[in-house]
Structure 1
Amino acid sequence: MKLSQAFAALIIAWFADLGCIQAASFEVKEGNSTCIKAQLSATFSITYNTSTGTRTASVSLPDSATLDEDSSSCGAANSSSWMVALFGPGHTLGLRFSTNGSLYSVANLTLQYNLSDTAIFPDANSSGVITVASPSVGIWATINTTYRCVRPSTFGVGDEAVTFSNMTLQAYMAGNDLSPTESVCTADTASTAAPPTTAGTTTTAAPAPTPPGTPERGTYSVTNSNGTACLLAQMGLQLNVSYFSLSQNKTVRELVNLTPNLTRSSGSCDASSASLVMSQGESTTLNFTFTLNATSSKYHLSGITLLANWSDSAAPFSASNSSLDYLRSTLGRSYMCNAEQTLVVVPTFSVNTFRLQVQPFNVTTTQFATAEECQVDQDQMLIPIIVGAALAGLVLIVLIAYLIGRKRSHAGYQTI
């Protein structure tokens, strides 16, 4: 982000924090049922070109902004839904929501601005509508709860910036009113995470948690609409996460095991992709996405997403990476790796797998197809073979040396 744009975003955030920016309200309905309801303040920092250089425009979402009913929709059950706000001559703010059944999130943030609006973009050397978008921005909440974020939070959208404040919203609503149960954003919880200390008061940090050990191996599956299995998986899973601990008052790195009998699996399958969603209670959701290359008939684990809301964490934890290349195998076969593997997702999150076997495509029975073993397992099998062969060679050399020695010994005592 350019320095001028960053400065403008800082000024915007300051005004938002003081409550100087009014909130706009929106409601997306299908018939008489409400699926999205939102009240929020938003300001935009947009850099544009002029004949003499660049300028940064700072504009607020007015409280008179209206819902674009043609672009907004509730979508089908558990599918994407849209809330699109209209303001000024050709400006829009769009939020696309998605859910995995346990959590909902803003899966896409879109900003559209019209450079022909000379009131906002004076001396712009071009005209027309510009659209910029950003994938998941970390706005998420547990299903059937209200997402609340009072303090300003700034997100990059393309080369621009959007600052939200005083935000209250809920998607995939069960009724027409916001849930009284709230999921609070990171900005709000971080401000209260470390209470001030007074003179003469000491704070004793809680002891670090004991490592959980090797996780139990669980069995997970995904079924098609006709009830037949389309994805099979068996594995022990361990989450390696860095977060700010309230009890220890510092950032810690902790291992968290997934417990199979407390974890339910769901997901979806189609011709070229399959997802396995593992939810442990209402606090932890781990999503594996597999992709198939039809040309090479190879598949791999392409994406991992973790959404977690733990009591000791200062804020809900969210991490995602959709450009991974793990667990690669051939269509019609399963992938197996008994050795421990570490799947790095982002610097603050990785997944450790144990005794893993998975088949996300071409499942014809409830049993795994012939397995392709990981390189680590192959290497571990090769080592005993090499050692055994070396020992056998050594025994053979000793035996040959012994026989030669005996022959020479007998030759020395022959009768003349």
Structure 2
Amino acid sequence: MFNSVLLLLCSVAILVSGIKEENPKSIVTAKNNFTAIENDSLTGALGTTPSLPISTESQPSTSKSAPTTTTTTSSPPTSIKPPSPPTPVPPPETKKWIVNGTTDTCIIVQMALQFNVSYITKENQTLNKVMDLPANSSVNGACGSPTDMEQNITLSWHSDSAKNLPNNLTLHFVKNITKHQFTLHLLEVSFAHEEFPDITSNLTTLVHKSDQFTTGLNNSYRCLKIQALNLTSSDNQTYGQIKVSDLQFQAFHLDHTISFGYAEDCAFDTPDIVPIAVGCALAVLVIVILAAYLVGRRRSQAKGYRSM
């Protein structure tokens, strides 16, 4: 019995020493082979290849991406071009016209003049036409005798629209012997019918009755500022204006020279309210002075009575 136990212990010691001396790589290989065999058997049993577990743990990124910059390119706003202003009409040219009589120069007129006439066409459209008095207008007039009370000057011209018949502007001057003055009494203009194509009415003659341009005989009237004079027809309807500037005229001239006499300027024209206001102020001043005189006189008399 003792011998049998001793033999068993020797066999175990030999077996353990043989396992320790075996190569570790062979053990790992045997283990792997065992795992492969186990996997193959599992695949055969399930019919699918087992998938390896996927790690859901996020790995830190080692590269830093550059910040994204978004550039928005907006198209420039569309600018609306404002409408171009109307082309200004150039001012008319200033010219001097002279009417000579048999012995003397009777009328001298210098001015720049522009017409603005409105009319209605056959299509019921209202149109405006602007015309200048050309500087090369021909002049004609009547001086009459020294005793005549009226003189006139007529300026005539052709235009591109009216080449057959002329346009005429006539200035009528009237003399007042009692006041020793003369005035531009009437301004009359007759247009050629061709100036207004497709016009519905017979708008050919327009007038401006004016008595505001008054000056003394042997003197001239001068007004450099622009003045607008209405043009009316025979039925007293206004159809336009005359704009006159650099105006100076003299009628009933009595010598051979072509120079103006003493100029009475329109800048010194005063409305009627000015002399009325001055007269009222003077009347009030006289009343105040008279009242002060009476009060002072009474006081002086009262002092004289007291002293007595």
TM-score by length of 2: 0.52
- Summarize the alignment of residues 286-305 of structure 1 with structure 2, pairs less than 5 Å apart: none
Tell me how far apart the structure 2 counterparts of residues 60 and 153 of structure 1 sit (CA, whole Å): 15
Query: 1:241 and 1:166, CA in 2 relative to 1: closer, same or farther beyond 3 A?
Result: closer
Cα deviation for residue 115 of structure 1 reads 2.8
Q: Is residue 174 of structure 2 the alignment partner of residue 124 of structure 1?
A: no
- CA 1:180 to 1:74, structure 2 compared with 1: closer, same or farther past 3 Å? closer
Structure with more strand by fraction: 1
Structure 1 residue aligned with 2:143: 74
Alignment RMSD (CA, Å):
2.9
8 A Cα contact 2:106 2:251, kept in partner: yes
Relative contact order, higher structure (CA 8 A, sep 6+) = 2
Amino acid at match of 2:130: S
Q: Is the 8 A contact 1:41 1:61 kept in 2?
A: yes
Does residue 140 in structure 1 map to residue 209 in structure 2? no
For residues 68-90 of structure 1, give each alpha carbon's deviation from its aligned partner in whole angstroms, at most 9, with x where no partner exists: x3xx2112324111111101242
> Which of 246, 266, 273 in structure 2 is aligned with 1:242?
273
| Residue number in structure 2 paired with 1:168 | 248
Aligned partner letter, 1:144 = N
Find 1:25's aligned residue among 65, 84, 96: 96
TM-score (norm 1): 0.39
Tell me which residue corresponds to 2:170: 94
Structure 2 distance, partners of 1:56, 1:252, is 43
Structure 2 distance, partners of 1:242, 1:149, is 21
Which aligned runs of 4 or more in structure 1 are off by greater than 4 angstroms?
126-129
One-letter amino acid of the counterpart of residue 79, structure 1: M
How many Å separate the matches in 2 of 1:137 and 1:47?
A: 25
Match of 2:299 in 1: none
Gaps of 5+ in 1: 1-10, 194-239, 246-250, 256-416
- Report the Cα distance in structure 1 between the residues aligned to 2:273 and 2:278, rounded to whole angstroms: 4
Rg comparison, structure with higher value: 2
Q: How is 1:304-383 mapped onto 2 (pairs within 5 angstroms)?
A: none
Q: 1:86 and 1:131, CA in 2 relative to 1: closer, same or farther beyond 3 A? A: same
Partner residue, 1:111: 189
CA distance in 2, matches of 1:137, 1:161: 17
Q: 1:128 to 1:99 in 2, by over 3 A?
A: same
The one-letter code sitting in structure 2 at the alignment partner of 1:24 is K
Give 2:132's aligned residue. Answer: 60
Question: Alignment identity in percent?
Answer: 17
Count of residue pairs brought into register by the alignment: 178
Equivalent residue for 2:264, pick from 183, 194, 206:
183
